[in-house]
Structure 1
Amino acid sequence: MKKLMLLVLLFCGSIIMAQEASFGIKGGLNYGATGEYNGHQEAAGDLSSNFTEDGENQRGFHVGIFSKFEIVGIFIQPELLYTSLNTEYSDFDYKLDKIDLPVLAGVNVLGPLNIKAGPSFQYVLSNELENTSLQIGDVENEISVGYQLGAGLELGRLGIDVRYEGAFQENNTFGEMATENNFTIDSRASQWILSASYAF
């Protein structure tokens, strides 16, 4: 909880530093998957082997608030978002709920079109397996850092954004199979994000 409060304070602090800032709400769809599922499987003749599986892309959603202010021709856009993701693996579905704090810098390039990029902080609220009896523990790091980059259109108070989010490094969560063989899932997502926003 202390780490979550740190993210909220970081968001609020970036707003306080701005002399003129706009505020708004946003939400939309996510399409992607969390990282690799690494496990161990038994084979015939007492043989065993390790395996790695990429998850199947699924739809998710996000909703939250944002602020935007300009500094010498460059705008800074911090956001505070609740995001829900679901990734399908061969043995189970992996559900992840998190708080995202992207802090993006951007420029207006042509009329209402802008481009932006920056770090995205992730705080994991919960992660669990569905459609299985397997158990899973907590992620290695409650807070991790990835990146976002994309483009947007501003049409008056309305905005539309398309972004890609990736990870700088893995943030594994550990589980245990019935055979007592451990497995891991990388909780950092690689995904496309489509958002609509409204500025007050």
Structure 2
Amino acid sequence: MKKLILLALPLLLCGSAMIAQEASFGIKGGLNYGATGEYHGPIDVADEVSTNLSEDGENQRGFHVGIFSKFEIVGIFIQPELLYTSINSEYSNFDYKINKLDLPVLAGINVLGPLNIKAGPSFQYILKNELENTSLQIGDVENEISVGYQLGAGLELGRLGIDLRYEGAFQENNAFAEMASENDFTIDSRASQWILSASYSF
């Protein structure tokens, strides 16, 4: 709970500033397309275990939904968001699923008519971290809260908005096998993905 409070604190602080700036608030949601990072460890092939596998996840679709705020100061806008995100990745002999809270805090400028560009850090807090279609068991990630980045462009058409962003990681955030054994493995839980969103401002 303490970590959740720490994660939400920047949003609350920005929200207080936004009220003073007559900011807009809204809801958003959309699709993700990407994958988590590299897997190192065993793989079952014809009931035999090989320990020489190293591979990246295969891109899959996910989704996100949440809220955002936006306020402008001297031509620059700040846009913090709080999102629930589901990510799916496919590896050779299992699927990897993550449910998390994302807190991007982006700075941007309006460049031409309704078009804007934006970039900034994206904090993530892992809620659930699991493997599917395998007997392997996964434990917690190394850091429940980690930082990546987002950058992209958006269109504002009245109260409606459309965003396309890329999200990447500054460093790995590995999840490990639940119990130490001959089947030890690691998976980098930070995702590299494209994010397409639609939003509505109140």
Q: TM-score, normalised by structure 2?
A: 0.92
Q: Could you tell me how far apart the structure 2 residues matched to 1:14 and 1:113 are?
A: 23
Residue 16 of structure 1 aligns with an amino acid whose one-letter code is S
Task: Using the TM superposition, name which of 34-43 and 48-57 deviates more.
Answer: 34-43
CA contact (8 A) 1:134 1:178 kept: no
Partner residue of 1:36 out of 35, 38, 50: 38
1:15 is the counterpart of 2:34:
no
Q: Deviations over 1:41-73 (max 9, x none)?
A: 799xxxx76431011100000000000001111
Shift of 1:39: 1.3
Residue 155 of structure 1 aligns with an amino acid whose one-letter code is L
- 1:3 is matched with which residue? 3
Matches within 5 A, 1:22-171: 22-40=24-42, 50-171=52-173
Task: Using the TM superposition, name which of 152-161 and 34-43 deviates more.
Answer: 34-43
Q: Could you tell me how far apart the structure 1 residues matched to 2:68 and 2:78 are?
A: 10
SS of 2:185's partner is strand
CA contact (8 A) 1:176 1:183 kept: no
Q: Could you tell me how far apart the structure 1 residues matched to 2:72 and 2:136 are?
A: 49
CA contact (8 A) 2:43 2:93 kept: no
Distance 1:177 1:134, change over 3 A: farther
Q: Could you tell me how far apart the structure 1 residues matched to 2:141 and 2:38 are?
A: 14
- 1:195 is matched with which residue? 197
Aligned length: 196
Shift of 1:9: 1.9
CA contact (8 A) 2:43 2:92 kept: no
Q: Deviations over 1:138-171 (max 9, x none)?
A: 0000000000000000000000000000000000
Shift of 1:178: 10
5+ residue gaps, structure 2, are none
Residue 15 of structure 1 aligns with an amino acid whose one-letter code is G
Residue 143 of structure 2 aligns with an amino acid whose one-letter code is N
SS of 1:141's partner is coil
5+ residue gaps, structure 1, are none
Q: Could you tell me how far apart the structure 2 residues matched to 1:31 and 1:42 are?
A: 27
- Taking only the aligned residue pairs, the percentage that are identical comes to 82
